[in-house]
Amino acid sequence: MRCCHPAPWIVGPVLMLGAAPVFAAAETERTPRRPNIIVIVADDLGYADIGVQGCKDVPTPQIDSIARNGVRFSNGYVSCPVCSPTRAGLITGRYQQRFGHEFNPGQLGQAAARARATQPTTPAVTFGLPLDEVTLADRLKSAGYATGMVGKWHLGDKPPYRPLRRGFEEYYGFLGGAHPYVDLKASDRAPIFRGNESLDENEYLTDAFAREAVAYIDRHKKQPFFLYLTFNAVHTPQQVPDKYLARFGEIQDPKRRSMAAMLSAMDDGIGRVLGKIRSESLENDSLIFFISDNGGPTKGNGSLNTPFTGFKGGLNEGGIRVPFLVQWKGQIPPGRVYDRAIISLDIHPTALAAASPEKPLDIPADKALDGVNLLPFLRAEKSGAPHEVLFWRFGRQAAVRKGDVKLLRIQGQTTLYDLSKDPAEERDLSAEKPELVKELTAALAKWESELKKPLWPQTRARAAAAREATGNRQRQGRRATQTP
């Protein structure tokens, strides 16, 4: 079967995906309860920063265990190369450009305030996930799930946009983008919240998020729950306790060393969560996803996107192809690599299908999901590709992937790549395949015609980062040949 093959760490007999129903029956003779849904999101983690994807200098045994116990997606994408839009797409299961959430909110609040001060007729801009969009938490709550979130939100900080108004019954974390990890006070400009109340946090933030996630599981272990656990590691600022930094004295590059320490802390935290699930005998009753919200910003935090060109902020593979893992013991055969293209939008419908397999939830046509339920593909109940095409747009960048071919449009310039032979996007095939360029350009134009105008503009800083992410291809090509 083309799309799946044993992971390189598997030895001995390997179970074929076609035997999944037998495997599931052998694992458990009881009728399982509706599964817990756990979605773990890392921040700014590079494709090559975990062991199962080639990382040599940073052990990530806990994250790797999700792949060993489940499936690693070698062609797993996010719907945007920056934080907030990706999260908007993931939580709704829809291309976020359909409802105008194309860019990060950034620092535009102050800019908008200044504009209104000088031009009172300037309309007010409220940044956040549009209130008429339905979240995964909304749908799982309506299906009888307990719903909780721990970590970075980044989908609106005004009260109507906060997690407790978007389907979550419990929340611990911060509302914006980048955030400090230490010396956190309730009086800070961007405090930590429990529910809607700000508080002091004395523990290293990554450790605190793990603590809160474990406590949430403990409170709700007797009922099906949805836990959305969104670490801000390994996003800057690079703040990390000495106990983690001491693990990586052999790494000479200070950014890479700090990133490694922050990643190691997160891996420990994920291990605490997985350990809690295991100790409560919930592994067969828990569908667990792990993903990064975008590619690594290599110059910013020392992350690596090998073997790809590009990084956070750009639509080259390094900006949008990310670590993407899933496990569900007893339901998904373990230790597999799935190489068809999938996207973070698929988490939403996959979770809904697992939560309500007998009676699919009724979703209105105007909120139709762009994601696909992956379970039939992982169980070999369906063959072929989950998606015929995937699309991206981020300002003056756009892309479409069909099969192994990707068309990339940056500031009006179009290139074409065969990712199966050229993952670093170094050989432009557009002159050799004009008909394919025409076909994909038309498909992209049709998709773009369905999108909404961005609700707020792109910040200057983010636009500059996007230009840099797609600018010097020769330098990026050299980086893509490095090994972790």
Enzyme catalytic residues: 83, 154
27's enclosing H/E stretch is: helix 20-27
Cis-peptide into 85, omega within 30 deg = no
CA distance 98 to 92: 11
Look at the block and give the residue holding tokens 């069909």. Answer: 402
Contact 447, 391 (CB under 8 A): yes
Q: Report residue 362 as tokens.
A: 């009724």
Secondary structure letter of residue 139 according to DSSP: H
CB atoms within 10 A of CB 168: 25
Contacts 24+ apart (CB under 8 A), 208-212: 209/150, 209/151, 209/172, 209/173, 209/269, 210/268, 210/269, 210/270, 210/272, 210/273, 211/272, 212/150, 212/172
Contact 350, 371 (CB under 8 A): yes
Q: What pairs with residue 289 in β-bridges?
A: 39, 326
CB atoms within 10 A of CB 55: 23
CA 90 to chain CA centroid, Å, is: 7
Among candidates 336, 289, 298, which has minimal Cα distance to 316?
298
